[in-house]
Amino acid sequence: MNKTNPKNCLPENYRSACPIANVLDIVGDKWTLLVVRDLMMGKHRYGEFQTSPEAIPTNILAERLKRLEAAGLVKKDFYQDNPPRAEYFLTSKGADLGPILQAMGQWGAQYIPGIVIPEQFGPAEIRD
Amino acid sequence: MNKTNPKNCLPENYRSACPIANVLDIVGDKWTLLVVRDLMMGKHRYGEFQTSPEAIPTNILAERLKRLEAAGLVKKDFYQDNPPRAEYFLTSKGADLGPILQAMGQWGAQYIPGIVIPEQFGPAEIRD
DNA sequence: GATTAAACTTGCAAAAAGCAAGCGACTTAA
DNA sequence: TTAAGTCGCTTGCTTTTTGCAAGTTTAATC
């Protein structure tokens, strides 16, 4: 271990101590926040996410749901065993991403021509 | 052209009419918003961005600055010709990403252990 | 004249994304 | 009572993006 490397003072594999950088390491890609958006709009099942107009590839959807669950943003609740079928819900940690989505929605509404403001997020059901 | 494809009604290469999806197509990756963050913190030159603790690869920095400029979020101002040297500034469109960064900062401060809240963004200088 | 520096560019390997097909466990229609 | 269909994924493979290191250009400094 190199004592002169300041990253040794950080939790492992943090890029930096900056909150923004760390948030981006969780949701900084083109798909993750769209899944969160769908969860906020009341979607809960795999097939429902696939009906969104962006048409997320199925392998990426599966992987993102796993990552969101691993990060504690999403809870996977099985409602039957055979075949295993589950519903996905935001935890309070995940639901607290709401302000980020809202800020994005506002910016997009202001600056991107031709967009359609979606029906407001309902009060997303939370399961911790 | 397939008239039954609803995407034909959208501006070219939009994934959907959702503002969030469109914002993610601009800033939805691990680096772009860190460059915007640095601009908000008063950094303006290529070398300054490279001093940030996340250590952005130089080719990615160059490409992101080009994309931000192309998207109208950043203005490149040359302050000498030979060799060509420029400073980068947020436009008002770029500066209006502030609420997104603030929302991320807040979420990170609340949920990511070991992060350090950076000195507040100054009132970023805007050049349109 | 050699070294250093700033702001990039280029080349190449590694990782992630995207697409299509497959799979296991039921459900429904013939 | 098969046969076809659905749901929630997984697998294999190609393409794109990322990441790292080294190189380039112009000029100032030693």
Summarised one tens digit per residue, pLDDT across range B56-89 is 999 999 999 999 999 999 999 999 988 999 999 9
When pLDDT is cut at 50, 70 and 90, the band that residue A9 belongs to is low
CA-only gyration radius of chain B, Å? 17
Two tokens, residue B83: 């060799």
Q: Residue A8: its pLDDT value, please?
A: 53
DSSP for B4-59? Answer: T-GGGGSSTT-S-S-HHHHHHHHH-SSSHHHHHHHHHTT--SHHHHHTSTT---HH
Give the C-alpha separation, A6 to A12, whole Å. Answer: 12
A64 CA, C21 C1': Å apart: 21
B-chain residue closest to A19, CA distance: B108
| pTM of the complete model | 0.92
- Angle formed at CA A73 by CA A67 and CA A76, multiple of 5 degrees: 75
Which residue in B67, B112, B128 has the most chain A C-beta atoms within 10 A of its own C-beta, making it the best mutation to test that interface?
B112
The secondary structure of residue B6, as a DSSP letter, is: G
CB atoms within 10 A of CB A51: 10
Cβ atoms A71, A96 nearer than 8 A: no
Nearest residue, CB atoms, A29 vs list B11, B21, B28: B28
Q: Smallest CA–C1' separation from A86: which nucleotide?
A: D8
Determine whether the interchain pair A23/B108 forms a contact, defined as Cβ–Cβ distance below 8 Å.
yes
